[in-house]
Structure 1
Amino acid sequence: MNAPLWTPAALEAATGGALHGAPRPIGGASIDTRTLQPGDLFFAIRGEARDGHDFVRGALDKGAGAAVVAQSRAEEFSAFGPVLAVPETSDDPVLDAMRAIGKAARARTGAAIVAVTGSVGKTGTKEALRHVLGAQGETHASVASYNNHWGVPLTLARMPESARYGVFEIGMNHAAEILPLTAQVRPDVALITTVEPVHIEHFPSLSAIADAKGEIFSGLAPGGVAVINRDNPNFARLLAHAQASKAGRVITFGEHESADVRAQRILTRPDISVVDATVMGLPVTYQLGTPGRHVAMNSLGVLACIHALGADLARAALSLASLKPPVGRGERTALRIADGDAYLVDESYNANPASIRASLATLAGIDTGSKGRRIAVLGDMKELGEAGERLHRELADAVRANGIDLVFTAGPLMRHLFEALPMESRGVAALTADEVTDAVVAALRPGDAVMVKGSNSMRMVRIVEAVKARYALPPDQREASLQAVR
């Protein structure tokens, strides 16, 4: 039987709280009753719209190991199950308690910790690190994009003492948001994938975004390693942040001739990429199970982290071959339309100018034969501020450069791109994903490759779901069809 994640004594010591009732064995942690598992410690934190205390009874009814509640609410809930009553020292004492438990988890672990941030690719890079480190030892990592003020402490609170490695994603929308998160994680290695005009609405300049990303190095453990993209125009600024931190070493990656982990050649195919690289002077050739030049570039950062951790570099390179893209971030689905094959690329989770350009370049690499077309379905990119109209319109250059045959758009901002395209490249422009879905589904023909991407709030995943519902091959036939496209 596995040891419990937390003992009653450890919870009380970490939080200064008091348990009411005997808790069930604690095996996990949750803030959401919809995904809560029996034995989870339920934190009744306050969300933007609802107070977690409204769900305490439901959590206990589902078998929560215990519920963490404000001290003044403990008597109200103790009749329904075990509760940990925590002192009310702020507006959200339960969030404070979750941070305290996360701090205790970090203090007790002997795991080597990696933290990842960046304007583009942080979730995919985090998942790649989870994948390759998981083959070398017990690895704990952030779920989905749990990278904010509640996601980071929740991930820490879930970390078992037995973990050998920990991988944490850290995000931000504003300056100074990374500072408290990296202070909680205290990484041994911190990686910045890249700096791009994402969330530019909240920043005066791209340099200010670089400064905000550079905050991640402030939390480095003494003698830790900073990993930086050498190709990024803001490299010098990021390097300055690393040098001002407790980092004992800086490792760079990219195609730049002075990069420590350098790509010599990147060969991209529809469903894989092949990279020839040097890692600290050592030649390494490896295959990536996830296609795209941008993914290949981030894989260099992954290998830089592996080297910094002292893990097995050759084994990590081999593991990358079986890496698959996270949901909504490049998943490939084989389609059958009439009597021919087609291809869907699901990039629906989120979007910004850099990631859309990268996805268009990946779409350009798909062989559609003599009759197939490359089709992009694009939704609005959010949080671009006054530059929004211009940044959407300027995507027309990338559409042309990558030979995209047809573009469908959803949202008022993407209308600016649509109107900048030649008539022969225009599909349908609509205000929402729902309004353009039927047109996309009806337009697809045998041989086509269609890519769907947009900010998460645009709900572009609904277009993906509609295309799959109409055309997706049965699971047992998909891999053979994808192999044919390769």
Structure 2
Amino acid sequence: MTQPLFTLDAILAATGGRAEGVSATTINSISIDSRELGPDALFVAIKGDRFDGHDFVDTALGNGAVAALVSEGRGTGDGRIVVADALEGLRDLAAAARQRSRAFVVGVTGSVGKTTTKEALRLVFEAAGETHASIKSFNNHWGVPLMLARLPESAQFGVFEMGMNAPDEIRPLSQLVRPHVAVITNVAAAHLEKLGSLENIARAKAEIFDGVEPGGTVVLNADHPQITILLEAAAAAGIGKIVTYGFARGVDWQITEPETAADHSFATVMRGDQAYSLVLGVSGRHMLSNATAALAVSHLAGIEASVALRSLAGFGAQPGRGERLSFGPSDKPLLLIDESYNANTASMGAALDVFASIRAPDGRKVLVLGDMLELGAAAGALHAGLADAVKNSGAERVYLVGSQMAALAANLPSGIVAVHFQAVAEAVDVIIGDLAYGDAIMVKGSNGVGLSRIVAEIKSRFAQS
């Protein structure tokens, strides 16, 4: 018989709550969305930026939730577990799940590549045993507790992504997750608006060290100038074991002889005198870096290198993070590279480098770039600084979306910029109308710009053609 995720008694003990008319004795899933409920679900009524889950408690119970975790004073009725605060109650469940777990737990953060690295680790761990990993980009003050609360007691491996856009956000997440291994994928110009400098970004990322279990390890990408800050912070946090990786000389896991093709990447990864042949089904030096992080962590977890390398050979880009899709006739398809989920200077440069290696099937190379958000006073210069990478990408038509892209437009040849739109709503029909089978199009920008609308429309219109 499958072990339940939590018994009602365990929920009450962890949260200090009281049950009001709850008939279920076990729950097997946890959700904060009344529309997406798993089997025997506990609905947690947290208050978000746009919605308050307490407004949807009755809907969730009507949709099949067996109980709802609610804040004191926020409604009455059967099926409720009442706690002082629902979000704190979710954190209590997360702490309880972590406390009972015997899994090898990994925490991942970084300016770029944390979701991709998390997915690479998930793939490798799944080949070795029962694995639980964060979904999507559930990496904030409610996403991490939700993912951790879902950790089954039987899991052998757990992988959790942690994000931030201000100081003092990662520390409490890491202290909740208590990773045996903490990974920092890199430090780049993201969230400068609130953090002010790359040095401050590095210090904010280093907060992950404060939750590392005694005797644990940190795994650091060394291919950025802020590596010294991270090394010093790790030592100050009492981390006894530090593992480095990257293209830089002298790292513990060095990526050598990198080659990138249209849809594959190759490298030899050196660990001392030991050489590993790394092959990926996705293009990009940054992907080789993410996969090497997974290779290093899997070694710490005691997984054979052959198992890890075999798993990574099947690794592909994720939706919104470099996923490639083809539409139409096989001899003349429309090729879409979907990079619409997020963007900062590091990820933009990496994506443009990949786009430079791609040939259009039988048409033009079209580029859609949206603002890189939260860059503060440096935004203009950082957007303008993309000009050479855009020109080197081979794009024949460039569409720009967002006010910050004016700085890039001013630094590009007038003939290459098709249109500069202020908002995505103006752009969708124009861009779709300009596309034809045989073209290759890459869409890249910060999630807040909404370029996913363009991706969705491409999928809809060309899939139906």
Under TM normalisation by the shorter chain, which class is it? over 0.9
Give the match's secondary structure for 2:415. Answer: helix
Alignment match, 1:3: 3
Superposed displacement of residue 36, structure 1: 1.8
**Alignment partners' CA distance in 2, 1:17 and 1:228:** 40
Aligned to 2:352: 360
Q: Amino acid of the residue matched to residue 187 of structure 1? A: P
Equivalent-residue separation in structure 2 for 1:149 and 1:8 (angstroms): 24
Over the aligned positions, Cα root-mean-square deviation in angstroms equals: 1.8
Matched, 1:455 2:441: no
Assess if the C-alpha contact under 8 Å between 1:224 and 1:246 holds in 2: no
CA contact (8 A) 1:269 1:365 kept: yes
Q: Does 1:98 align with 2:90?
A: yes
1:46 aligns with 2:38: no
Asked if 1:34 is matched to 2:35, the reply is yes
**What's the counterpart of residue 477 of structure 1?**
none
Q: Is the 8 A contact 2:260 2:283 kept in 1?
A: yes
1:160-199 counterparts in 2 under 5 A? 160-199=152-191
Cα 1:105/1:339, change in 2 over 3 Å: closer
In structure 1, what is the equivalent of residue 225 of structure 2? 233
Deviation (angstroms), 1:177: 0.6
Give 3-state SS (helix, strand or coil) of 1:211's partner.
Answer: helix
Separation of aligned partners in 2, 1:172 and 1:198: 10
CA distance in structure 2 between the partners assigned to 1:334 and 1:46 by the alignment: 40
Aligned to 1:84: 81
- Residue number among 437, 441, 447 corresponding to 2:432 in the alignment: 441
Equivalent residue runs for 1:247-396 within 5 Å: 247-336=239-328, 340-368=332-360, 372-396=363-387
- Residue matched to 1:415: 406
SS in 1 for 2:34: coil
Counting matched residue pairs gives 464
Q: Relative to structure 2, which stretch is displaced further, 65-74 or 379-388?
A: 65-74
Q: Which segment is superposed worse, 171-180 or 11-20?
A: 11-20
Instruction: From the superposition, tell whether residues 338 and 15 of structure 1 become closer, same or farther in structure 2 (CA, over 3 Å).
Output: closer
1:111-260 superposed matches below 5 A: 111-260=103-252
User: CA 1:227 to 1:290, structure 2 compared with 1: closer, same or farther past 3 Å?
Assistant: same
C-alpha distance in structure 2 between counterparts of 1:367 and 1:309, whole Å: 39
| Percent of residue pairs bearing the same amino acid type | 45
Q: Is the 8 A contact 1:141 1:167 kept in 2?
A: yes
Offset of 1:241 from its aligned partner? 1.2
Q: Give the alignment's TM-score, normalised by structure 2.
A: 0.96
Q: How far does the alpha carbon of each residue in 1:389-420 deviate from its partner, in whole angstroms, 9 at most, with x for none? A: 22111111211233332211111111221222
Counterpart AA for 1:182: S
The answer to whether the Cα contact below 8 Å between 1:433 and 1:458 also exists between their aligned partners in 2 is yes
Read off the aligned partner of 1:265 and give its amino acid letter: E
Asked whether the 8 Å contact 1:392–1:414 carries over to 2, the reply is: yes
| Whole-Å separation in 2 of the counterparts to 1:436 and 1:337 | 26
Instruction: Give, in whole Å, the separation in 2 of the partners of 1:108 and 1:246.
Output: 25
Aligned counterparts of 1:121 and 1:40: Cα–Cα separation in 2: 32
Q: Is the 8 A contact 1:407 1:418 kept in 2?
A: no
Q: Which amino acid aligns with 1:68?
A: L
Distance 1:257 1:231, change over 3 A: same
Structure 1 letter corresponding to 2:80: V
* Conservation of the 8 A alpha-carbon contact between 2:367 and 2:399: yes
> Separation in 1 of the partners of 2:273 and 2:114?
26
- Deviation of 1:337 after TM superposition, in Å, equals 7.3
The structural deviation recorded for 1:339 is: 7.1
Q: Runs of 5+ in structure 1 lacking a partner?
A: 475-486
Quick one: distance in 2 between partners of 1:338 and 1:96? Answer: 52
State how far apart, in whole Å, the 2-side matches of 1:66 and 1:281 are.
56
Whole-angstrom distance in 2 between the partners of 1:175 and 1:281:
40
| Separation in structure 2 between the aligned mates of residue 335 and residue 17 of structure 1, nearest angstrom | 52
**Range with bigger deviation, 270-279 or 212-221:** 270-279
- TM-aligned CA distance change 1:66 to 1:338, over 3 Å: closer
